[in-house]
Structure 1
Amino acid sequence: MPPNGVKPGTKRARQYEQVKESVKDQGKSESTAEEIAARTVNKERAQHGESQESSKSSTEDKSPGQRGGERSGKNGPKGRTKDQLYNEAKDLDVDGRSTMTKDELRKAVDAKK
């Protein structure tokens, strides 16, 4: 359900659904996808003067489309977590996996594949 103030069948309602599906396709939960979609749509509405009230950060900052996720997540290496790598190593029967670092696990798993 789109955020308050967004009428069904409008551009913003379609945008909400599209963002929500995109986030769900990335493996996020339903509630997380709804929150991200609502925040995106609300920011777009604020920047285009479609909302009654809007914060300074909403109107003066880059739009989510321009930002392209540059502030999303944490800084640092992306990819599989150490737990994910460990489980893959376990499935591939990699010896010594319990004492390996994340980088060592990644190299061992990639070498076995």
Structure 2
Amino acid sequence: MPQGDKSSYTDKQKREARHIEQGYEQRGVGKNEAERRAWATVNKESGGGRKSGSGRKAAGRSS
């Protein structure tokens, strides 16, 4: 998958990123920086794109 390809993200993750990006743009952050920050936030909260499998640990948790 090439860098920047968002096809592996769920629709919910894409909606969240758009919403976060709009918030940054309203605060005066440039378009490219707002998009970068939005996807970084989505990745931090959800652990990245679509993940398969039952029994996956919750994002951000380690044992």
Same topology, TM > 0.5: yes
Taking every aligned residue pair, what percent have the same amino acid on both sides? 22
Contact 1:3 1:42 in 2 (8 A): no
Name stretches of at least 5 consecutive residues in structure 1 with no aligned partner.
Answer: 53-57, 61-113
**1:3 positional shift:** 3.8
Name stretches of at least 5 consecutive residues in structure 2 with no aligned partner.
Answer: 53-58
- How many residue pairs were aligned? 51
The question of 1:29 aligning with 2:30 is answered: yes
Query: 2:39 aligns to what?
Result: 38
Report which structure shows greater RCO (CA 8 Å, sep ≥6): 2
Instruction: Give the TM-score taking structure 1 as reference length.
Output: 0.37
**1:51 positional shift:** 4.4
- In 2: Cα distance, 1:27 partner to 1:16 partner: 17
Rg comparison, structure with higher value: 1
Aligned-partner SS, 1:20? helix
- Aligned-residue CA RMSD in angstroms? 2.8
**1:39 positional shift:** 0.2
- Pick the structure with more helix per residue: 1
